[in-house]
Homo-oligomer: A and B are copies of this chain.
Amino acid sequence: MGNYRIAVLPGDGIGKEVTSGAVEVLKAVGIRFGHEFTFEYGLIGGAAIDEAGTPLPEETLRLCRESDAVLLGAVGGPKWDDNPPHLRPEKGLLAIRKQLDLYANLRPVVCYDSLVSASPLKPDLVQGVDFVIVRELTGGIYFGQPSGRVVENGEEKAVDTLLYKKEEIERIVRMAFILARGRKKKVTSVDKANVLSSSRLWREVAEEVAKQFPDVTLEHMLVDNAAMQLIRAPKQFDVIVTENMFGDILSDEASMLSGSLGMLPSASLSASGPSLYEPVHGSAPDIAGMNKANPIAAILSAAMMLRLSFGLTAEAEAVEHAVWQALALGLRTADLAPSGGRIVSTNEMVEEIKAAV
């Protein structure tokens, strides 16, 4: 019987529909297990630019800091694409990650048996896929300075900086090892050590951290090879740990193993304060407001919140099982159509999962 304050930041596009679905499911969990969840809403992304003139208002940050966890939808859309960099929706997302020190982005990739045929990959390759990508989220080329435009001797140039401190690498690699301990005890550290200085430091630090986890195997893999291995033989992976940009690319690629980007939840863990939970997918402006979006990534993100922020394991499992059941019954949002079953709306999918909780 607990009381939990949850900050909900729907953001833009389908972010609104999928967070509302996740909130519904959390309410059902509250009733079934006797918890009190309080939901308070904040602005972020394009919605915040429109209403408050900035992609991450101070008020939103305050709300998050006073909450036990944050549930986020998605940000962005064509409406704001021509805005100057500091007034772009994505800046809100990058800023909240940095401000709340959400350094560890966990992206589990699981292929549900009933969705095996939704994947572009051959069934025998994806059946049983179950790994997690641990992406560093507050460092690297996303935040390094200098970053910008310069004119030198009449030449126009643009520069970005990939910077990692030893401690930043240490804490994310350690997180990967801790997770691996509770899983299949294998960490694949992905880098580009044959080219990048930052990757060579990354590899060294990974080796050091590994010494504290003699029960876990560490392997190194170059990012180009990893992009290939993910589709060649995805079952070789247990925990993948990598820097910010590589993690961004590899996790979107890996989403295809689970059938759809609409299936992938994520947790962004903070070093100190509240953690944030969001689907890996974006705001999908083309289908926003059409009651077609897949709410499962957001709902599974809420399940991660129950487990990782509140320690409510049985509750998290109830949600995960409800999702599994809805899929096994043949319910499919449009993105999952290739796997057969009955096409349903966002609302129908949410109702089914709620009922099953």
- Contact residues of A: prevailing secondary structure: helix
Look across to chain B and name the residue whose beta carbon is closest to the beta carbon of A89: B194
A210 within 8 A of B: no
In the bound complex, what is the Cα–Cα distance between A228 and B248 (angstroms)?
A: 11
Instruction: Judge if A245 is at the interface, Cβ distance under 8 Å.
Output: yes
**Does B88 lie within 8 Å of A194, measured CB to CB?**
yes
Task: Return the contact of A158 from the options B120, B198, B256 (Cβ within 8 A).
Answer: B198
A158 and B201 within 8 A (CB): yes
Given contacts A121-B231, A157-B166, 14 further A-B contacts (CB under 8 A): A90-B195, A120-B125, A120-B233, A147-B197, A149-B197, A157-B201, A158-B164, A159-B197, A161-B161, A162-B162, A224-B252, A224-B253, A227-B253, A228-B261
In the complex, A202→B232 CA distance in Å? 31
State the interface size on chain A (CB cutoff 8 A). 57
| Complex Cα gap A79–B159 (Å) | 35
Question: Which positions in A face B, CB cutoff 8 Å?
Answer: 76, 85, 88, 90, 94, 120-122, 125, 141-142, 144, 147-149, 155-167, 192, 194-198, 200-202, 223-225, 227-228, 230-233, 245-246, 248-253, 255-256, 261
Q: Which of B147, B253, B255 contacts A253 (CB 8 A)?
A: B253
Q: How many protomers of this protein does the assembly include?
A: 2
B158, A163: Cβ atoms closer than 8 Å: yes
- A156 with B253: in contact, given A120-B121, A120-B122, A161-B161 (CB under 8 Å)? no
Q: Determine which residue in A195, A202, A255 has the highest number of CB atoms from chain B within 10 A of its CB, and name it.
A: A195
Contacts of A158 in B (CB 8 A): 163-164, 197-198, 200-202
> What distance in Å separates the Cβ of A250 from its nearest Cβ neighbour in chain B?
7
Q: Which residues of B contact A85 (CB under 8 A)?
A: 197, 200
Q: What 8 pairs between A and B have smallest CB-CB spacing? A: A158-B201, A227-B253, A224-B252, A156-B166, A160-B162, A158-B198, A90-B194, A158-B197
CB nearest to A247 among chain B residues? B224
Chain B, Cβ-Cβ closest to A201: B158
| Contact, CB under 8 Å: A249 / B261 | no
**B residues less than 8 Å from A223 (CB atoms):** 248-249
Shortest Cβ distance from residue A11 to the other chain B in the assembled complex, whole angstroms: 14
